[in-house]
Amino acid sequence: MARVTIAPALFTPLMPVSLVGAQIDGKPNFMTVAWLTRVNFDPPMVGVAIGKRHHTPRGIQANKTFSVCLPNAELLEQTDYCGIVSGARVDKSGVFNVFYGDLETAPMIAECPLCVECALVRVVDLPSSHLFIGEVVTAHADESILTDGRPDPAKLDPLVLTMPDNHYWSLGAVAGTAWQAGKALKK
C-alpha cells in the first residue's frame, strides 16, 4: 500500500450529526454540529466545537446551558437547514417542536429521539472555534429507540456526516464488538 500525505483538514472523514440548542433572546435556536464528542466519563461530559462567528454561542454563554439532540434520518432536511442558515438572520425557533427540561434554558427537539441538556463547564478558546464543554445533566430518550433501557443504534437511526464529499449516511452493518474483538490477540 503506497502511503501519501493529504491535507491535515481532511483527517476527520466521518462524524456524528447533532443539533445544538440554545436559548437566545427568549427564543430557541438550533445549529447543526458534527464536531461533537464525549470528553469525560464521570460525570458524563460532552464537547462541541463551534465557529466563533455563529449565533448559537450567544445563548450558550448567556445561560451557561445548551442541549445536544441526535436527529434521525427522517429529520435530514430540517437538520441540514439548521446548518445553512443562521439564527442571526433567520428565526429557526419554529423548525421543530421544542421542549425544556431541568435546566429550563436548554431547548430540546421533540422530534429527535435522543436529547441531552448540558450545564456549561468550560469554554476552550481555539483559533477559529470555541470548544464548549458541558456536563450532561439529564438525557431524554424516546422509548421507541430503547432496548433494555439503553439507546439502540439501529432504532435510533442516526445521521453520520462524511467529508469532504459532504454526504449524510445511515449506519451500516455491525462490524464487530468493541472491548471484545481484540481479546483474540491477547496472550
62: Cα separation from own chain's centroid: 20
Q: Which CB atom, from 23 or from 32, has the smaller least distance to ligand FMN?
A: 32
Amino acid at 153: P
Half-sphere exposure of 4 (CA within 13 A, CB side): 3
Based on the shown chain and the rule CB under 6 A, indicate whether residue 55 belongs to the binding site for ligand FMN. Answer: yes
Which residue stretch of 27-35, 61-69, 117-125, 143-151 sits at the interface with ligand FMN (rule: CB under 6 A)?
27-35
How far apart are CB 179 and ligand FMN at their closest, in Å?
A: 28
Using CA atoms, how far apart are residues 174 and 76, in angstroms rounded to an integer? Answer: 22
Which is it for the CA torsion 122, 123, 125, 126, positive or negative? positive
137: Cα separation from own chain's centroid: 15
Q: What is the DSSP letter of 154?
A: H
Of the candidate residues 33, 95, 120, 145, the single one contacting ligand FMN (CB under 6 A): 33
Based on the shown chain and the rule CB under 6 A, indicate whether residue 161 belongs to the binding site for ligand FMN. Answer: yes
Give the interface size with ligand FMN as a residue count (CB under 6 A).
Answer: 21
Of the candidate residues 44, 51, 63, 157, the single one contacting ligand FMN (CB under 6 A): 51
Using CA atoms, how far apart are residues 32 and 17, in angstroms rounded to an integer? Answer: 7
How far apart are CB 25 and ligand FMN at their closest, in Å?
A: 12
Positions touching ligand FMN (CB under 6 A) are 17, 29, 31-35, 49-51, 54-56, 80, 83-88, 161
